[in-house]
Structure 1
Amino acid sequence: MARGLAFFDVDGTLITVTSIFRFLAFDLAERGHPPSEFDARLAALGALKAAGASREEANRAFFANFAGRPVEELAAVGRRWFDAEHAAGGLFVPSVLARLRAHRAAGEAVVLLSGSFPPCLRPLARLVLADAVLCTEPEVRDGRYTGAVAHPVVGARKAVAARELAWERGVDLADCTAYGDHDSDLPVLELVGHPVVVGDDPVLAAHADRRGWDRLPLAVPAP
């Protein structure tokens, strides 16, 4: 049996920002749009959620922002965005990054598991030496994003992706660890033998307290 896998949610767990929103703001600014354009697009998503759209539906609506854009162009934007975020400091949650390095040092495969998409996640994966990235894959035709989503990895679909990877690699999920910060990560946390709750989401905190799950802070406590 292979060594266990360590699954890391990204936004709000491994990093302190919501990558797709920061990426969109960066991309719009690079193309000369005022900050109000980003605010308007974010407000439209907020209105969609307020009207009852699911997390999955909102995720799909977000990627319509990139309809018609070349895949390689957005990959390059992603590299510039990540370099800027990382250079600014404070991008990573220290306690979680330390755990990621410990899993890697122990010979376990590190897996990024996220509703974000490749332009945001590939530069991050290279930096932390992740072994695999399971993420939302927007639909592509003729080298351009269509604005639709071919393969969402959000909510319960994260658990499906994690289960499939464990099966492919011959890994017992009881030997795996997963990190998450939001109640949408619960299906993955319940799937593995070693769930870790990051931060203070009330739903996850209640599960952690009741079931004895490990917990990590989002920030280093002040001295």
Structure 2
Amino acid sequence: MSEGRRAAFFDVDETLITAKSMFLFLRHWLADNGDDGTVYRRQADALRATVGQGLPREVGNRAYYGNFAGARVSDVLAAGQAWYAGYRRRPDAFVTACVAALERHRAAGDEVVLVSGSFEACLAPIAEDLGAGLVLCSDPRTAPDGTYTGEVGTPMIGVAKAEAVTKTIAGLGVAASDCYAYGDHSSDLGMLGVVGHPVVVGEDTVLGDIACKQGWPVLPAAGGRRDDR
């Protein structure tokens, strides 16, 4: 066990950034490929319907990656960089209280880890910008020709997040009781429960009730700028 070392795990969508990266990136990707908004609305409505029908979030996550079947991985990654370069200029792009917490962890020398159901195209530029050393995310399958198959291995949601965080803590050789985790949704509860310092972001009712009972800190989800780069 490494004395004095800690890790801080951050959900991304509506925890570090104020938006749902997967939806915004899908709109960006489809627009770049000639969509006038019609295909995006249809696909977004279908994805939201899975939640409305009470299906597990993992179902919607798997369906999402079907939108990239046949696309070259390199093209999608490049599109992710372009999307984020525009997104980060929004005046409300970041959950300022949570980004400030991340920056404090970095200053303290903690390992900063992003944990998200999103994928590399969205998360790599965010991790680079915020200085996260590790990213735990969904893993869309790729074909030998360098394209996405439209399938995904493990959606990084719910139980998968808790398992990935637990495995990462062990791999880093740090104590779970010293680690932090930040999440905004009830699906983050498993991840929050495996560290010694869980922090709730925003006003999710389920997490809010548990935070009140357990004495967990709650950060506001107000959005703002990070800097002018």
The answer, yes or no, to whether TM exceeds 0.5 is: yes
Greater Cα shift, 180-189 or 147-156? 147-156
Give the one of 181, 194, 206 matched to 2:197: 194
The secondary structure found in structure 2 opposite 1:205 is: helix
Question: Could you tell me the percent identity over the aligned residues?
Answer: 46
Q: Deviations over 1:109-149 (max 9, x none)?
A: 00000000000000010011101000001011121110000
Greater Cα shift, 111-120 or 85-94? 85-94
Q: Deviations over 1:65-88 (max 9, x none)?
A: 000111100000000000010123
1:31 equivalent in structure 2: 33
Amino acid at match of 1:204: L
1:44-63 counterparts in 2 under 5 A? 44-63=46-65
**Residue 137 (structure 1) aligned with residue 139 (structure 2):** yes
Give the one of 133, 147, 154 matched to 2:157: 154
8 Å contact 2:18–2:223 — kept in the other structure?
A: no
8 Å contact 2:154–2:160 — kept in the other structure?
A: no
2:109 equivalent in structure 1: 107
Structure 1: which 5+ runs fail to align?
none
The secondary structure found in structure 2 opposite 1:28 is: helix
2:166 equivalent in structure 1: 163
Distance 1:154 1:220, change over 3 A: closer
Greater Cα shift, 88-97 or 177-186? 88-97
- After TM superposition, give the deviation of residue 49 of structure 1 in Å: 3.2
2:227 equivalent in structure 1: none
Distance 1:32 1:47, change over 3 A: same
Cα RMSD after superposing both structures: 1.3
Amino acid at match of 1:14: L
Distance 1:20 1:220, change over 3 A: closer
- How far apart are the structure 1 equivalents of 2:54 and 2:220? 31
- How far apart are the structure 1 equivalents of 2:179 and 2:51? 33
Amino acid at match of 1:121: L
Amino acid at match of 1:92: F
- How far apart are the structure 1 equivalents of 2:223 and 2:149? 41
- After TM superposition, give the deviation of residue 220 of structure 1 in Å: 6.8
1:126 equivalent in structure 2: 128
The secondary structure found in structure 2 opposite 1:218 is: coil
TM-score scaled by length of structure 2: 0.93
- After TM superposition, give the deviation of residue 156 of structure 1 in Å: 1.1
**Residue 175 (structure 1) aligned with residue 197 (structure 2):** no
- After TM superposition, give the deviation of residue 219 of structure 1 in Å: 1.1
- How far apart are the structure 2 equivalents of 1:26 and 1:33? 9
8 Å contact 2:22–2:122 — kept in the other structure?
A: yes
- How far apart are the structure 2 equivalents of 1:219 and 1:46? 24
Greater Cα shift, 65-74 or 36-45? 36-45
- After TM superposition, give the deviation of residue 47 of structure 1 in Å: 2.7
